[in-house]
Structure formats: C-alpha cells, structure tokens
Amino acid sequence: MEYRLEQDSMGQVKVPADKYWGAQTQRSVEHFPIGVGLETMPREIIRSFGILKKAAALANHTLKPEKMTKEKQDAICRVCDEVIAGTLAEHFPLVVWQTGSGTQSNMNANEVIANRGNELAGKKLLHPNDDVNMSQSSNDTFPTAMHIAAVESLEDRVIPALNRLIAAFAQLEKDNIGIVKSGRTHLQDATPIAFSQEISGWRSSLERCGELLEQALPSLKELALGGTAVGTGLNAPAGFDTEVARQVSMLTGKAFVTAPNKFHALSSKSELVFAHGALKALACDLMKIANDIRWLASGPRLGLGEITIPANEPGSSIMPGKVNPTQCEAITMIAVQVMGNDAAVSMAASQGNFQLNVFMPVLIYNFLQSARLLAEGMNAFHDFCVTGIRANREKMDGNLHNSLMLVTALTPYIGYENGAKTAKKAYAESISLKEACIKLGYLTEEEFDRVFHPEQMI
C-alpha cells in the first residue's frame, strides 16, 4: 500500500494515499481498532455531516464572505453533495467506539471535504479546521448531525412504513366485517368479539404510536449548531445559528430551527430519549400484534387455526411440509432489540457532564439501528404477512359456539351463580351450555333459544 504524509498539531502521520482522510482520522483508525468493518459510524450520520457542513459553508459565506469566499463555499458544497449522495463512503472508516463527543468523526468529515475539495480545485484551497469547520466545534456539529439523522430516519423511513402497515390493517378490518369469534383474556376463552374489532385494536395501537412519534419531532428539529464548544457561541459570527438552521431546512426540506438554549443542546440528549421512547412503544405494540397473529395462526391442525398467514418458505430441515410464522418471529426479535437499545440510549443520555455529553456515538448508533430495523421490519411484515392474512370462518364459528364463556349472555336471566354452575356442568360432562342449562332447570329449551344469541354479544 502506498502512503502520503499528513500533518496535524501533533505532527506527521502516514495516511493511505488513495484515501481523502487526514491525520486526525488516521490517528483514530489506529487507536480505536474496535468493531472495524462492523460498527462504523452510521451512514445516516455521515450524510448528516454532509448536510450540516454544506449549510455551514453557505451561512459563513453570507455572514463573513471575506473568510468564506465564494470559491471556498462552492468547493465545500460540491464535495458535500458527494458526501450526501454516499459516493465517498469508503473515506469514512471510523467506528462508533471512539471519543464520546464524536470529535474524530467531525474531523473525518472536515479532512475528507478539504482534501477532496483541494483535489477538485487543483490547488490548496481548503483547510479542514479553518474553512470546513469554520464557526463550528465537534461539540455542536455532532449533536446537530444526530438530530438531522434522527428526524430524517423518523419522517422518511419509520413513519411512512408505519402508515403503510396501518393502511393494511384498515383494509383487513374492512374485509372482515361481520365475522364473530371468541374473545380471549388471560389466554382463556372470553366473551365474543368481531374479528374486525380485534383488528381495529391492532390498527388503533399503531395509529397511537404514530401520534407519539409525531410528538417527538418538533424538539428533534432544534439544532445545536452555533453553540460551538460549550454553548456560548464563541468564534461563530452573530446570527450564524439562525442562518445555518435556515440553510439546513432548505437542504432537507424540513423545518429545523436553532436550539433556544445551546447549553442544553450540547449537554442534554432528552429529545432523543423521548423520541426513542416512542420507538420503543412502537416495538412493544408490534410485539403484541405479531404474537397475536402467530397465536391465531397456530396449527395448522392442533393450534387455534383461526387465521392463515402466507407460507413464505419451508419451516424445518427435518419435518417436511412444516411452515413457520417467520415474519412474526422477525418483527418480535426486532422489538426485543429496540427495547434493549432503549436501555443503551437512556444510559448514554444520562452521562452528560457539565457542558457536554460524551456518550453521543453509542446513543445515536442505537437510535438509528432501532429506526432502521423498525422501518425495514414493518415493510417486510406488511408485504409478507399482514396483507396475506385470511380468516378461517369455519374455525372461528366452531370455537365461538364451543366457548363456555357464552354463558355470560345468560346471567341477566339466570344470575351469575347459576351461570357459573351451568358452565362448570357443561365442561365436566362435555355437553353444550344449552343442555347443561336445561338439565339444571334454569331455562326451558324455548327460553334458551330466545335469549341465547352469541352474534349479538359484540
């Protein structure tokens, strides 16, 4: 491998000749050989750095054009467009397990943009600190990248996937109007419910999760950029924070604003904790829904068997013909991962000391993994499970009329105690509720037929 020498404030460092990064990135590569190739800084963060560095160049040119000349602005913006597009991904090698402020990833972005910009310009035009990092600090850029990435992940991936799943359940609900089945509580038989009502519970749970995610967005759209090192705004021109937020908004099409208190924005990560809490709530509801579906589809002969789900692939290497609820299993595993990530997000957010949180890379790594898994998991769950759910009407009807809890319809006429005796006799003697009730002398056959209508109990 060929190398070139790069210089930083600590001296010279050998850097691979075919890479755009510089000395500080190389020091991080050498000092943090942890999870290399597996746990690199999320691509969403790299994209967000491209956005914010472009926005900063545009804002700096507006506010101090004598330093950020048009030539420098254009060079930075051109490279940032490449970063945003992902074409320079190989030049961002750093892992999550680095400095807790994300300083090395900020410098990685600064060095790549400067070196690539100089290559395009054919001269030494840009300096990573003086130009690309102008009016900024790692301490305000990394929190800004976190918020941009979080907002884009939620608005562009999670919420659209969630709305798509909600629509599928709404259609399933509509398609199954009129089907009455046995309800279940405590995994035991309960009073009747319409299948469409059961589905409506799933749909409504997901709709509420969408509302919770929407509630998290406004505070995530507040940016730390302009706070510089400790929140005072040192070395940033007046109005930079407002102007750079405006530029980020124009680049993303999302209504970002400057954080009203930069001391909070640098040291607290409560907005991300709140948003991830909404992701965890979604994971909890998806866990419940997927479990309901695989219980209802259990069988095909020895389980509940009240619904069928798509048979996507063979389920066993030894049992021919076996098909498993694999999409349900995938989404429930994702839910477990998100719940675990929530613990990491919460712990990381609690570690803000004085003017800076230094657990930011691990926090956003877990946050973005949760968002990515949920979005992709919901899309797969929609495509390969939910849209293929079909009701087994015969099984539902059989279970309904075999349920002892239908005795609840009789209690207004024979009382709770007599209803309990009727149910117990029917169970003990393996006879119908009607036979038990008549044997006990509580109702005649005509009276029973007049008051006993399971389909009207919903």
By annotation, the residues acting in catalysis are 186, 316
258: β partners:
223
Cα 117 from Cα 44, distance rounded (Å): 22
DSSP per-residue codes, 336-390: HHHHHHHHHHHHHHTTEETTEES-HHHHHHHHHHHHHHHHHHHHHHHHHTGGG-E
CA distances from 391 to 21, 106, 177, 421, 442 (A): 58, 54, 11, 33, 36
Q: What are phi and psi of 215, to 5 degrees?
A: -65, -25
- Cα separation of 136 and 57, whole Å? 10
Strands, E assignment, 274-332: 307-308
Torsional class of 269: left (φ above 0), alpha (ψ -120 to 50), beta (otherwise)? alpha
Distance of CA 213 to the CA centre of its chain: 9
Tokens at 80, concatenated: 């940032």
- 273, 345 in Cβ contact below 8 A? yes
Rg over alpha carbons for the chain, rounded to the nearest Å, is 30
Helices and strands of the chain, counted as H and E runs: 17, 10
Tell me which residue has tokens 């005509």: 446
